[in-house]
């Protein structure tokens, strides 16, 4: 059954049944198929006609089914349907989106009474808490629900990365064929991705009938508007990009005429021609459906929530994708006649940070502070205080500065919560702060590409405790992508993996030499959020910066040869992505050689820096007490370990390591 048929036979999936005085056509709510997927994620309620339809299809299809059902019913009773029966049924339709355990009702700010009538019908099947309303962003909807004391029934906007990813996954639906699209619950629009379109390509040979059905479905949905005037289907593209659908008409014309089986080559050429246009419009970031890719995930979420991503503050500031929809901008201050005027309700920490930058910079024309809501790392940070803030300042000459502020993870308040007395907590925090700056100094002197950090110290009032110092690390925001979040699409260029491998090899030397590891597990910190890559205009890696030195000096005793396999396991993930993207085996082998060369070259370079008489690095912490586990003891052990390492052995192991599984790359 497809939505453009004129008549329906009411049997099988269209067999009507009476439930609680309601005519029900289609599968039950939340009914799943053999694979556990919803048989129909879309439904329609017709309150005046006491009817629910859940047949798979678009809402216009449901209205057509309802009209045909009542027309046939009236005729069977010997009555003639009114001329206005069809428009009345269409006007009565209320759209539903069925999720795993909740039904969303599409709100109508102009006629919420009609929506509430649909809600009443649904409540004869489900409890209130399993029925929610769209329209969180519409004041008229919010006010109506507030007046009923039911603000809690508004479908909340996802906040965390996990919630957004779940929302995007749950929005994937099918209409009449096997085509999957993403459904915007508030507007009823759908979005077709390039990757889903490409799933039709093999069907052109294996199942031409299904391929043609999907192409026709795409064409028909692209041409239709729903009752709100929104397109039933649009191409999933970046904001501002457009794609004409004429190419799809050309493919259908070739397939939908006699003798099509003899024109397979011509059909494939026509398909590929349009696919190239689609790929060019979507761009590499949106060409692969990957909810783990921050840019793809955020862009899709924007489409499903009617947000123009180019109008988001995080986008306009040029922040990397993991910040998009992940910053809560806070009440702060305005600058009036050279004076700071704080907003009502400004938090003491926000006020303290603003005053700090005001005094440090000698003034600015504007400042905005945002709290990063979800952690930017995938590491286990349970029990740690990880508040991160973005500070955006504009000076009078229009220059804009973006700073990233991170609260020290073991601050005074955190220690007090653990039962440490206040004075002892302050002393321990200051000692830890000094230890961190010692590590930063050592890393910089060894020539590693790290950022410059400054300290911000505020005094904050803690209820029940009083005033205590709070410590923050302040650094410049740097544009780029951290290595563990590089989208798969980047790996399609042959030069990408070779350049990236050189940068990753040098970065591995940093983690190994300084023993960057988790105090909890002892595992090496590498390629998991602290290494940021910058690219040229073609998307080829050109530079790597260590943006965080977390875990430095944690492991100062394990031989580097024993730590190396952990880095190679992480590096293997990048080789897999390149191989999966179609990069030839010889290039993958070259990438491994690049990694090994960069690893030993960087280590050799650091050795020369340490050995230089002018560096005095061996005496860097000579003034400190030589207590076991102290920084002087760790530093001496780190340098001795580096000197004792056989660099050629590291290189040879890398080239033949079981972690990289080189035999799997099918060397010619």
Of 247, 276, 311, the last residue of a domain is 311
For residue 4, is pLDDT > 70?
no
pLDDT at 5 over 50: no
**Segment 225-243, tens digit of pLDDT:** 877 778 899 999 998 899 9
Asked if the model's pLDDT at residue 328 lies above 50, the reply is yes
User: Which of the four pLDDT bands, split at 50, 70 and 90, describes residue 611?
Assistant: very high
Q: Examine the domain organization and report whether 334 and 471 are in the same domain.
A: yes
Answer yes or no: are the C-beta atoms of 220 and 4 closer than 8 Å.
yes
**pLDDT per residue as tens digits for the range 182-223:** 998 878 889 999 999 999 999 999 999 999 999 999 999 999
Which one-letter DSSP state was computed for residue 80?
P
pLDDT at 380 over 70: no
State the pLDDT confidence band at 668, using cuts at 50, 70 and 90.
Answer: very low
Q: What is the mean pLDDT of the chain?
A: 88
Q: Are residues 655 and 511 in the same domain?
A: yes
State pTM to two decimals: 0.68
Number of domains in the chain: 4
Per-residue pLDDT at 449:
93
Residue 218 in any domain: the answer is yes
Q: Answer yes or no: is 318 within a domain.
A: no
Decide if pLDDT at 1 tops 50.
Answer: no
What is the percent of the chain with per-residue pLDDT over 90, rounded to a whole number? 56
* Domain match, 21 and 122 both: yes
Same domain, 512 and 466: no
Q: Which has the closest alpha carbon to 583: 481, 480, 500, 485?
A: 500
Verify that 351 and 419 share a domain, yes or no. Answer: yes
Q: Which of 311, 346, 368 is the last residue before a domain boundary?
A: 311
Residue 3 has pLDDT above 60, yes or no: no
pLDDT beyond 50 at 490: yes
Q: Does residue 246 have a pLDDT over 60?
A: yes
Return the pLDDT at 564: 97
Say if residue 497 is in the same domain as residue 597.
yes
Asked if residue 399 and residue 250 are part of one domain, the reply reads no
> Do 297 and 345 share a structural domain?
no
pLDDT of residue 383: 52
> Which range is least confidently modeled, 241-245, 262-266, 426-430?
262-266
β partners of residue 475: 404
555 and 575 in one domain?
Answer: yes
Residue 17: the pLDDT is 92
Give 335-369 pLDDT, tens digit per residue: 888 888 888 888 999 999 999 999 988 888 888 88
Note the pLDDT of residue 396: 65
Tokens describing residue 502: 């050189």
What is the spatial distance between Cα 424 and Cα 413, in angstroms, rounded to a whole number? 11
Closest CA to 494 of 583, 402, 556, 371: 583
Mean pLDDT in residue range 622-641: 92
Clarify whether residues 296 and 335 are in a common domain: no
Task: Report which listed range, 56-65, 375-384, 608-617, is most confident.
Answer: 608-617
pLDDT digits (tens, 9 = 90+) for 84-111: 899 999 999 999 989 878 999 999 889 9
| Structural domain contains residue 368 | yes
Q: Quick check: is 179 in a domain?
A: no
d(CA 668, CA 666) in angstroms, rounded, equals 6
User: Which pLDDT value is given to residue 434?
Assistant: 92
The stretch 49-72 carries a mean pLDDT of 90
State whether the Cα torsion 25-28-34-37 is positive or negative.
positive
- Is residue 164 included in any domain, yes or no? no
- The percentage of residues in the chain with a pLDDT greater than 70, rounded to a whole number, is 94
Answer yes or no: is 584 within a domain: yes
Predicted pLDDT at 2: 36
- Which stretch of 13-17, 126-130, 243-247, 273-277 has the lowest confidence by average pLDDT? 13-17
Residue 570 lies in a domain: yes
Tell me, yes or no, whether 369 lies in a domain.
yes
Sign of the four-CA dihedral 162, 167, 172, 173 = positive
Burial class of residue 109 (count of CB atoms within 10 Å of its CB; 0-12, 13-18, 19+): middle
Whether 13 has a pLDDT exceeding 80, the answer reads: no
Query: In which domain, by residue range, is 279 found?
Result: 191-225+237-311
The mean pLDDT of 267-287, rounded to a whole number, is 92
Give dist(CA 313, CA 305) in Å, integer.
16
Token pair of 585 as six digits: 């085996």
More confident call, 162 vs 457: 457
Q: Which of 476, 509, 526 is the last residue of a domain?
A: 476
Q: 361 and 288 in one domain?
A: no
109 three-class SS = coil
> Are both 119 and 74 inside the same structural domain?
yes
Task: List, for residues 123-142, the tens digit of each pLDDT value.
Answer: 999 998 899 998 776 778 88
Q: CA 378 from chain center: how many Å? A: 13
The yes-or-no verdict on residue 253 having pLDDT over 50 is: yes
pLDDT band for position 146 (cuts 50, 70, 90): confident
What's the pLDDT at 513?
A: 97
**End-to-end CA gap in the chain:** 51
């Amino acid at each position: 059954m497809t939505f453009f048929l004129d008549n329906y036979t009411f049997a099988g999936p269209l067999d009507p049944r009476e439930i609680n005085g309601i005519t029900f056509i289609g599968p039950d709510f939340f009914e799943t198929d053999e694979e556990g997927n919803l048989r129909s994620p879309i439904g329609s309620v017709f309150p005046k006609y006491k009817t629910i339809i859940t047949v798979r299809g678009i809402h216009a299809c449901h209205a057509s089914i309802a009209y045909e059902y009542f027309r046939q019913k009236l005729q069977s009773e010997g009555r003639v349907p009114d001329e206005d029966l069809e428009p009345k049924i269409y006007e009565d339709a209320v759209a539903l989106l069925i999720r795993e355990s909740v039904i969303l009702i599409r709100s109508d700010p102009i006629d919420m009474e009609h929506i509430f009538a649909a809600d009443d019908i649904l409540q004869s099947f489900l409890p209130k808490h399993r029925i929610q309303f769209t329209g969180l962003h519409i004041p008229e909807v919010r006010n109506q629900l507030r007046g009923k004391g039911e603000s809690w029934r508004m479908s909340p906007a996802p906040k965390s990365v996990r919630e957004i990813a779940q929302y995007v996954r749950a929005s994937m639906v099918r209409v009449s064929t096997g085509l999957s699209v993403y459904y915007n619950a508030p507007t009823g629009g759908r979005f077709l991705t390039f990757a889903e379109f490409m799933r039709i390509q093999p069907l052109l040979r294996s199942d031409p009938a299904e391929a043609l059905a999907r192409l026709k479905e795409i064409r028909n949905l692209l041409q239709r508007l729903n009752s709100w005037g929104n397109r039933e289907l649009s191409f999933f593209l970046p904001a501002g990009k457009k794609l004409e659908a004429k190419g799809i008409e050309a493919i259908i014309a070739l397939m939908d005429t006699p003798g099509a089986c003899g024109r397979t080559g011509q059909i494939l050429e026509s398909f590929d021609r349009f696919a190239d246009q689609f790929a060019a419009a979507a761009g590499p970031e949106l060409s692969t459906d990957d909810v783990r890719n921050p840019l793809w995930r955020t862009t899709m979420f924007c489409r499903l929530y009617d947000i123009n991503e180019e109008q988001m503050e995080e986008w306009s500031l040029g922040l990397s994708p993991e910040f998009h929809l992940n910053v809560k901008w806070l009440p702060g201050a305005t600058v009036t006649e050279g004076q700071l005027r704080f907003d009502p309700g400004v938090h003491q920490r926000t006020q303290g940070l603003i005053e700090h930058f005001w005094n440090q910079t000698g003034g600015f024309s504007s400042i905005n502070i945002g709290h990063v809501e979800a952690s930017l790392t995938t590491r286990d940070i349970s029990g740690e205080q990880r508040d991160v803030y973005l500070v955006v300042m504009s000076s009078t000459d229009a220059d804009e500065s973006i700073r990233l502020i991170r609260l020290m993870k073991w601050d005074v308040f955190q220690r007090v919560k653990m039962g440490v007395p206040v004075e002892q907590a302050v002393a321990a925090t200051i000692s830890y702060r000094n230890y961190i700056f010692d590590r930063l100094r050592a890393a910089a002197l060894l020539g590693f590409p790290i950022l410059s950090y400054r300290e911000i110290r505020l005094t904050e009032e803690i209820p029940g405790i009083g005033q205590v110092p709070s410590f923050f690390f302040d650094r410049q925001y740097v544009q780029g992508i951290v290595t563990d979040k590089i989208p798969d699409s980047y790996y399609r260029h042959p030069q990408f993996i070779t350049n990236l491998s050189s940068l990753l090899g040098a970065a591995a030397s940093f983690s190994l030499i300084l023993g960057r590891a988790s105090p909890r597990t002892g595992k090496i910190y590498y390629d998991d959020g602290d290494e940021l890559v910058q690219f040229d205009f073609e998307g080829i890696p050109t530079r790597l910066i260590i943006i965080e030195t977390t875990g430095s000096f944690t492991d100062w005793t394990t031989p580097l040869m024993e730590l190396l396999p952990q880095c190679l396991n992480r590096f293997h993930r990048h080789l897999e992505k390149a191989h999966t993207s179609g990069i030839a085996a010889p290039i993958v082998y070259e990438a491994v050689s690049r990694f090994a060369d960069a690893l030993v070259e960087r280590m050799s370079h650091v050795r020369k820096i340490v050995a230089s008489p002018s560096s005095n690095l061996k005496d860097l912490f000579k003034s400190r007490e030589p207590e076991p586990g102290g920084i002087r003891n760790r530093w001496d052990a780190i340098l001795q370990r580096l000197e004792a390492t056989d660099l050629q052995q590291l290189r040879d192991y890398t080239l033949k390591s079981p972690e990289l599984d080189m035999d799997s790359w099918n060397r010619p």
